[in-house]
Structure 1
Amino acid sequence: MKKSNSTYSILVLAFAFMLLGTFGVQAQVLYKPEPAANPNLGGNVAWDAICASSEFNQYYVGFNWDPPLVASNNKFILELSDANGYFSNPTELASVSDKNQVFDFVFQFSLPSDIRGDNYKMRVRSTSPAKTSPASDAFTMYYIDYKAPLLISENGSGNIPSEGKIQICGGGSVTLKPHNIPNAGTYIYNWYRSGTPLAEKTESITVFDPGMYYVELDYGDCSGSANTMSNYIEISTGNSAGLAINGASSISLCPGESHLLQANISGQGLTYKWYKDGAVISGPTVDASSFTVDAGTSGFEGSYKVEISGSGVCTELSAPVTVSNSSSFEITLDNEENIVLLPAQTKTLSVNTTASNATYQWYKNGVAITDATNSTLNVDTIGEYYVTVTDNGGSCTPAPIASATTKVVSPESFEFVVDYIGTYGSCESVDATLSLTTINAVSGNGSKTDVTTDLQNSFDYQWKLNGSNIAAETAKTITVSNQEENGAYVLIGTLNAFQAASNSLQVKLASNETLQITANGTVFCEGGEPIVLESTTDLTDESFEWKKDGTVVNTSSQNLTISGPGVYQLVITSNDCPLVSNQVTITAFDESLLVLDKSKDLIIIEGETETLTASGADSYEWYDAGNNLISSNSYYDFTEEGEYLLVATFGTCTVSKVVTITYRDMFAIPNVITANGDGINDLWVLPNTYSRDPNVLVTIFNERGEQVFSQAGYENNWPQSTTSFNKQNMIFYYKVTRGGKSLKQGTITVIK
């Protein structure tokens, strides 16, 4: 009997080694991927080219492979070549990790937005074992991310010329480039001249020859669906004619004279366009090679140019000819244009002039004033005054020029306008500056004249706050920097018998104090110690609001006992402005705030120490099975098996966790079980190092490599009651992994 058992054991071991050899010698076969039909489109026709866009980008590829099985942590990865079909730097299109026992399946993928070309290939790569399929056939693949008509201009400037025409002069060149497409350098282009395709494929083209030029994006076989054809640019060629205006470059005319500007090219049927100071004043007109400047027309002075265009010549602009007024001179008022004349008062009007030999004549309300022929004039009545100046020493016949008009008014009253100077925000700024901006003289009919410049230094000023004079504030400007001085400000001005009052300006300054609230905890738990908010500011005589999530919850309590999680603030109304505290955030208690660095069910080796560390709480207490406090640290060193209690405190809340310590099983993984139902060695029992751990995966295969059992957190429950055995004695293959990494593997012999 003993001999028979020994012989059987040897056979079992030999068969096991043969099985392991089968797994090691036979290699998986990966076949090249093939296009597959999209099941969501209701057809069974596979794609032969990809024209993807933001509107549609869902494609499928079929793939199959032959066993033996790959590793449980294997991934199948679908890769894409570069545009030339090479895989030196492949792009990952898709990957799967749940097809390790499926020999024929499809990948779903989306085409990346930078893929454009006609020779892309695909392949599939496995990771465990590391194998690569043959490459697929070459396919056209384009991601059409730009689908609007292109716009081209010279150097991509964005300035499309009038009528789309550009002229090249004297053998020059022009560079055309699209200006309305992002990342223009990443695309392939088709350029055309008068309908003929050109060799250039880049974003710009330099042209020398005449013709109609345009461009489209080259999306290969997908180009028809993109609609990117650009505008047309017509290129013509010609030679410079050396255009100029005859005569001197600077001309001076007297009033009433005229001058003929003549182009040096004429009689050739060309088109002329004349400019003054950059604006067209004549043309375009055929053979209009001259233009007459009339000095009798107001504003004739300026810079004149001529432009020619026509067949065989370049459009050309001449150098300028400057035309000036020989008799021009300047007149400057010495006084303000608006002047107030008070009762029994006299004002002096005066002018300065650049005329070399000036004579003067003053006017009131359009009528010449007798004997008013000096550069100054004393006035004591209201009206509108101006002076004409004649230069008698120039080269031209003397002609008078009128000065600006001075308006002299005698008001019924004055009006002040005050405003904020600089940046001011109500209940935001901590200071404010107010100043007089306008003084209006108000006539009897209610009309107003701005006399600020004339009178701002003549008034006596007084600022008022809420109707009362402010001591020592007698200037045009006032600065307020104390919140206690919030209120309505008015400026009063006095001049002789006149008194003016300004508009009222409200000043509301924010407090420069800091309002701080604190809490005895920030984690709220039902039944825990109450959380109380309080402020260092005495609220006895204050108007205040306690707010939760922006909503008022209390307006009378110095301290606030919170009712639930939220964001809390205190707002005090100080001199009509809110003083807002810091925010205190109260969070709902969450037991997951307590974090252990290891599982609360620890397996240790007898005689050794294992440390378990907690974090996230304010304090910690560790108790043994007898409810004795054994540590108040955030960690504890376990040396004995048993049950322990951790109590963690979060403010007024606590969390309790039971920690179980078990000695590690020291027996080896069994390789033989007797599943005969006698209750002895019927189940394959693993040491507790590997069993009942949710991070450990146990997988069992039959002798053909087919998976028959897989369980995370193995419960020592295989073979199960439903497991069938078609032989009296069978060999199985097992793998024990954690996070895809193999821990143990071997054979299990099941004897019935």
Structure 2
Amino acid sequence: MKKLCSTYSILVLAIAFVLVGSFSAQAQVLYQPVPADNPNLAGNSAWTAACASSSFNEYFVNFRWDPPMVGSDNEFILELSDANGYFASPTELARVSDKNGTFDFEFEFSLPTDTRGENFKFRVRSTSPAKTSPASEPFSMYFIDYNYPLLISENGSGSIPSGGLIQLCGGGSVTLKPHNIPNANTYIYNWYRSGTLLAEKSESITVSEPGMYYVELDYGDCSGSANTLSNTIEISTGTSSGLAINGASNIEVCPGETHQLEANVSGLGLTYTWYKDGTVVSGPTVDASTYTVDASINGFEGSYAVEIDGANTCKELSEAVTVSSPGSFDVTQNNEQNIVLLPSQTKTLSVATTATTPAYQWFKNGSAIAEATSSSLVINSVGEYHVEVTDNGGACEAAPLSSETTTVVAPESFEFVIEIIGSYATCENTDATLSLSIINAVGSNGSKTDVTSELQNSFAYQWQFDGAPLAGETSKTITVSSQEENGGYILKGTIDSFNATSNNLQIKLASNETLTISSNGTVYCEGGDAIVLSTTKDLTNESFSWKKDGVALASTSEALTVGEPGVYQLVIDTNECPVVSNEITIQAFDDSLLVLDNSENIILVEGDSQTLTANGADSYEWYDAGNNLISNSNAYDFQEEGEYLLIASFGTCTISKIITVTYRDMFAIPNVITANGDGINDLWVLPNTYSRDPNVLVTIFNERGEQIFSQSGYENNWPQSTTAFNKQSMIFYYKITRGGRSLKQGTITVIK
């Protein structure tokens, strides 16, 4: 029998050696990935083109591979080529690490948002060992990031012509371009003329042939589903009439005179539209082939053109002619238009002009002022003043040009407006700067004139705090920087016999003091030690309150005992602006605060170890089955089976966890034993799962079905020394049950 077992062992080893050698000579085979059906959609067919968008971007490919097995740390990676099918810089679409024992599976992936092209391919790489599958067939793949109808117009101006018609005259051309798509130059386009696809692929197209033009974004096989087809522009052609404006291209008209512009095409019942500097000034009007320029109207100078339109003619715009004045000049005012004149004051008004030989005449309230004929005028009374300038040296007859009117008023009073410079919020800022912003002269009728720039350096100033003057504060600006200065501020000023008073600004500054509270814990549990909030600030003479979740509590104690979870603060009321402490959040005690990185039931291979890590608590204690403290760390490395206790502390609250460690069975139930007394394989030995468990019943029957052995808590002791075997090989049957429920059953061959 010993010789038989020895021969059997040698045979098994030989077969294993052959198999290992065979597999070691064989390499994994990665097959070409192919499109697969989407299980989340109706139907059962694989995709032929990937047309993704923001509302749908879910695709699957099938991948197969053949053993030998890959490494346990292997990952399969799905990669996408560039638009030309090259993998010089592939894009990773998906990565899986849990398919190392699955030879046929699907990758799920989404298209990157910049995917646009007709020849994308994909492939699969493994990392352990490093191998690459053949590339797939090429596919049309597009991420449709714009799927609205395009709108096209001339040069993308956004102005679609009436009826969608554009006429081209005399061999002209027009550029069509979409005007409602962002980043238009990043797309490829399909342009059509009367249903025929054109060669142009850019965002604009210049056309001269008649036809119906429209465009769509070129999304390849996905173009139809993108819904980007544009409006249609009809291009028609005709013969130019040679439209022009008769006469010279540069015309000079003296002030006060008129000049008639005339089109060279007339009397055909056409409509005429006249333009000045590109803006319509007349029409469209039938047979209005002339337009009169009136030089008595200020600003008549400019570029004039005419456009014709009508039945059986080509819409056409003439070249522009320039109309100017040889005697034109400018008059510029050198002073403010609104002036406040104080008693006994004088002011000087003046103008500058570009006239060649200017003559001046000043007016007050519409009447000429005697002997006021220079470019400046000294005034000492209120009224409305302007000057007329005449150029006596120009090519045209003298025509006066008036300056703007200056209004001079005498104030009834003055008022100041003060404001805070920069950002300011009540009881948030720790300083504030106040400054004069406006000085208004108030007229007898209540009208106000801003005279800040003229008089701000002429007033004498004094700041007041809560009605009392502030010593030394006599400028236009004041800075407040402490809570003791909280209150109302007014700026007063004097000039001549006038007194001015500002609005009242209330300033409330926050304290510079930092108020800090602390606690002896942050987790609240019923029956645990009390959580107490306190501060090092002496509150004896302070008005204060404790707040929970922003609501004041009734407690007047300087130390607060927390009665429930919430967000707590301490607030001291001082100088109308509270001093607010930091926040402390007290959490409700919850078992979920303790997080374990693995199961509480650990199965070990005998001789190995496994670490269990806990997080979330303040401290940890690990105990073995004998209640011995074995660690204070947040992690413990288990090496032996048994029951362990973890106590996690959260302030004064604790959580206890029982950790059970058992050994994993490393062998199957044997079906052959050699009861020859050599001490090797003489007994039927069961895995730990079924042996020595008092709840597990092991029963053995002979070949006639007669029960010959039955034991709870089987001790791996069959066959017993008294058992006799009268044949060379005998077959027995076994059944393993727990609580009457069958766990395993099979045969045992006993070889003598």
Shorter chain as normaliser: what TM range?
0.5 to 0.7
Structure-1 residue corresponding to 2:341: 340
Does 2:569 correspond to 1:549? Answer: no
Deviation of 1:352 (Å): 3.4
Aligned in 2, Cα 1:227/1:669: closer, same or farther, shift over 3 Å? closer
Deviations 1:388-424 (A, max 9, x none): 4444454443344444334343444333322333433
Deviation of 1:642 (Å): 6.4
Q: Distance in 1 between matches of 2:627 and 2:40?
A: 64
Letter in 2 for 1:233: I
Equivalent residues of 1:525, 1:589 under 8 A apart: yes
SS for the counterpart of 1:484 is: helix
Which residues of 2 match residues 21-60 of structure 1 at below 5 A? none
Deviations 1:444-470 (A, max 9, x none): 443444444454344332222221112
Q: Distance in 1 between matches of 2:83 and 2:476?
A: 79
Structure-2 residue corresponding to 1:464: 464
Does 2:190 correspond to 1:196? Answer: no
Deviations 1:139-163 (A, max 9, x none): 99998775532223467x4634544
Structure-2 residue corresponding to 1:276: 276
Equivalent residues of 2:337, 2:405 under 8 A apart: no
Matched-pair identity in %: 49
Structure-2 residue corresponding to 1:152: 152
Letter in 2 for 1:159: G
Deviations 1:248-301 (A, max 9, x none): 74x6543223445577x767989865433442324557887765433222332x
Equivalent residues of 1:349, 1:377 under 8 A apart: yes
Deviation of 1:326 (Å): 0.9
Aligned in 2, Cα 1:615/1:193: closer, same or farther, shift over 3 Å? closer
Does 2:692 correspond to 1:672? Answer: no
Deviations 1:646-671 (A, max 9, x none): 54544434444556677x79x96255
Letter in 2 for 1:669: F
Equivalent residues of 1:177, 1:203 under 8 A apart: yes
Equivalent residues of 1:389, 1:401 under 8 A apart: yes
Q: Which runs of 5+ in 2 are unaligned?
A: 674-682, 694-715, 717-733
Equivalent residues of 1:123, 1:134 under 8 A apart: yes
Match of 1:722 among 742, 745, 748: 742
SS for the counterpart of 1:722 is: strand
Which residues of 2 match residues 211-222 of structure 1 at below 5 A? 211-216=211-216
SS for the counterpart of 1:500 is: strand
Structure-2 residue corresponding to 1:351: 350
Structure-2 residue corresponding to 1:229: 229
SS for the counterpart of 2:484 is: helix
Q: Distance in 1 between matches of 2:652 and 2:439?
A: 67
Q: Distance in 2 between matches of 1:118 and 1:388?
A: 75
Equivalent residues of 2:59, 2:110 under 8 A apart: no
Deviation of 1:491 (Å): 1.9
Which residues of 2 match residues 296-695 of structure 1 at below 5 A? 296-300=296-300, 302-306=301-305, 318=319, 321=322, 323-324=324-325, 326=327, 328-330=329-331, 332-334=333-335, 337-342=338-343, 345=344, 347-354=346-353, 360-369=360-369, 381-553=381-553, 556-589=556-589, 593=594, 595=596, 617-621=617-621, 627=627, 645-657=645-657, 669-670=667-668, 672-673=670-671, 681=684, 683-685=686-688
Deviations 1:20-42 (A, max 9, x none): 99xx99x99x999999899997x
Letter in 1 for 2:414: F
Structure-2 residue corresponding to 1:694: none
Q: Distance in 2 between matches of 1:516 and 1:494?
A: 49
Deviation of 1:196 (Å): 3.0
Deviations 1:26-84 (A, max 9, x none): x99x999999899997xx8979989988799699999999x99x99x9x9x99999999
Q: Distance in 2 between matches of 1:541 and 1:272?
A: 90
Aligned in 2, Cα 1:268/1:389: closer, same or farther, shift over 3 Å? closer
Aligned in 2, Cα 1:567/1:46: closer, same or farther, shift over 3 Å? same
Deviation of 1:590 (Å): 5.1
Aligned in 2, Cα 1:528/1:336: closer, same or farther, shift over 3 Å? same
Q: Distance in 2 between matches of 1:7 and 1:540?
A: 95
Equivalent residues of 2:382, 2:409 under 8 A apart: yes
Letter in 2 for 1:567: V
Q: Distance in 1 between matches of 2:374 and 2:54?
A: 84
Letter in 2 for 1:323: S
Letter in 1 for 2:418: V
Deviation of 1:487 (Å): 1.9
Structure-2 residue corresponding to 1:254: 254
Deviation of 1:511 (Å): 3.2
Letter in 2 for 1:425: A
Q: Distance in 2 between matches of 1:422 and 1:39?
A: 58
Letter in 2 for 1:350: L
Q: Distance in 1 between matches of 2:186 and 2:368?
A: 77
Letter in 2 for 1:365: N
User: Which piece of structure 1 moves more, 652-661 or 51-60?
Assistant: 51-60
Letter in 2 for 1:479: T
User: Which piece of structure 1 moves more, 513-522 or 183-192?
Assistant: 183-192
Deviation of 1:496 (Å): 3.9
Equivalent residues of 1:34, 1:136 under 8 A apart: no
Equivalent residues of 1:413, 1:443 under 8 A apart: yes
Aligned in 2, Cα 1:543/1:170: closer, same or farther, shift over 3 Å? farther
* Length, aligned pairs only: 688
Letter in 2 for 1:431: D
Q: Distance in 1 between matches of 2:454 and 2:392?
A: 34
User: Which piece of structure 1 moves more, 307-316 or 619-628?
Assistant: 307-316
SS for the counterpart of 2:742 is: coil
Q: Distance in 2 between matches of 1:423 and 1:90?
A: 49
Q: Distance in 1 between matches of 2:78 and 2:630?
A: 58
Deviation of 1:231 (Å): 1.2
Q: Distance in 2 between matches of 1:376 and 1:122?
A: 85
Aligned in 2, Cα 1:330/1:584: closer, same or farther, shift over 3 Å? same
Equivalent residues of 1:668, 1:687 under 8 A apart: no
Equivalent residues of 1:492, 1:502 under 8 A apart: yes
Q: What's the C-alpha RMSD, in Å, of the aligned pairs?
A: 6.4
Deviations 1:562-591 (A, max 9, x none): 334433333444433344333333334455
Q: TM-score, normalising length from structure 1?
A: 0.67
SS for the counterpart of 2:515 is: coil
Which residues of 2 match residues 64-79 of structure 1 at below 5 A? none
Q: Distance in 2 between matches of 1:129 and 1:214?
A: 54
User: Which piece of structure 1 moves more, 616-625 or 565-574?
Assistant: 616-625
Equivalent residues of 2:521, 2:531 under 8 A apart: yes
Q: Distance in 2 between matches of 1:629 and 1:35?
A: 57
SS for the counterpart of 2:503 is: coil
SS for the counterpart of 1:672 is: coil
Aligned in 2, Cα 1:227/1:268: closer, same or farther, shift over 3 Å? farther
Deviation of 1:213 (Å): 0.8
Equivalent residues of 1:523, 1:589 under 8 A apart: yes
Deviation of 1:174 (Å): 6.0
Structure-2 residue corresponding to 1:210: 210
Deviations 1:315-337 (A, max 9, x none): 56646625136153425354663
Equivalent residues of 2:37, 2:47 under 8 A apart: no
Q: Distance in 2 between matches of 1:375 and 1:63?
A: 92
Equivalent residues of 1:272, 1:286 under 8 A apart: yes
Letter in 2 for 1:295: A
Equivalent residues of 2:93, 2:111 under 8 A apart: no
SS for the counterpart of 2:325 is: strand
Letter in 2 for 1:672: P
SS for the counterpart of 1:429 is: coil
Equivalent residues of 2:93, 2:109 under 8 A apart: no
